[in-house]
A and B are shown apart, each in its own frame.
Chain A
Amino acid sequence: KNEVEQSPQNLTAQEGEFITINCSYSVGISALHWLQQHPGGGIVSLFMLSSGKKKHGRLIATINIQEKHSSLHITASHPRDSAVYICAVEFRDTDKLIFGTGTRLQVFP
C-alpha cells in the first residue's frame, strides 16, 4: 500500500532553533515534494527531489532512498517560518501523488 507518514504532527520552537521535519514512505518513488502552507490556505512548492540533497536559503531537504525517508530542515528558524509543511510522494508503481497530513510548525520570538 502506498503510504506517506510525517512526524511530528505539531512542532513548536523558539526563534533561532534548528528544525527537522520527517517524512517516511512505503515503497519506491519517482519524486518527493515538500510544500509549505501558510494560514489562509496558499501552498508553495519548496522542493522536489528524487535523490540527495537540495538547499534554498535556510531550508534544506534530504532524501535517503534506501531508508525511504526524507527530512526538511530549517536553520535559524524565524516566526515567519510558522506554517504547515507537507510532504507529498509520487509512487513509481501508480504514477499518483500521495500527500502526508502535514506538520504544523509554530516558531515563537
Chain B
Amino acid sequence: DVKVTQSSRYLVKRTGEKVFLECVQDMDHENMFWYRQDPGLGLRLIYFSYDVKMKEKGDIPEGYSVSREKKERFSLILESASTNQTSMYLCASSFLGQGSFNQPQHFGDGTRLSIL
C-alpha cells in the first residue's frame, strides 16, 4: 500500500515564524502536491512537483515556497507565517501520467496548522 506521511497532525506557530511542513512518500511517485483545505472552499493547490528539484505554482502559491531535494520528500515552507495561513494542509503523490492530474492521487492524513 502507498504510504504518504506528513510530519505532524497538529501544529501551532506564531505570526512571523518560518514554518516547515514535511511530506514523505514510499512508492517512488514522480508527482507530489501540496493543498490547503478551508471550510466551504474545497481543496486548493498551492504547489506541485513532477521531479526532483522541479516545482510548479498552483492556484494559491503566495506566501509559500517548496523544496524537493529527494524524490520521496516534498516540503512546504511558510516563509513568514500569517494568521490567514491557518488551515488544513494536505500532501499527495501520484505516478506521472499524460497530464499532471490524471493519475489517482494518494493523500497524507493532513496537518492542521494554527497560526497565532
Report which A residues bind B (CB closer than 8 A): 4, 30-31, 33, 35, 40-45, 48, 50, 86, 88, 90, 95-97, 99-102
Residues in A with CB closer than 8 Å to B99 are 30-31, 90, 95
Q: How far is the CA of A72 from the CA of B40 in the complex (A)?
A: 20
Shortest CB-to-CB span from A98 to chain B, Å, is 8
Encode contact with A along B49-60: 1 for CB under 8 Å, 0 otherwise. 000000000010
Give the secondary structure class of A's interface: strand
Q: Given that A41-B88, A41-B90, A41-B109 are contacting pairs, would A31 and B102 also be in contact in the complex, using a CB cutoff of 8 Å?
A: yes
Q: How far is the CB of A55 from chain B (nearest CB, A)?
A: 16
Is the contact region of chain B dominated by helix, strand, or loop, or is it mixed?
loop
B68 at the A/B interface (Cβ < 8 Å)? no
Tell me the smallest distance from the CB of B16 to a CB of chain A, in Å. Answer: 26
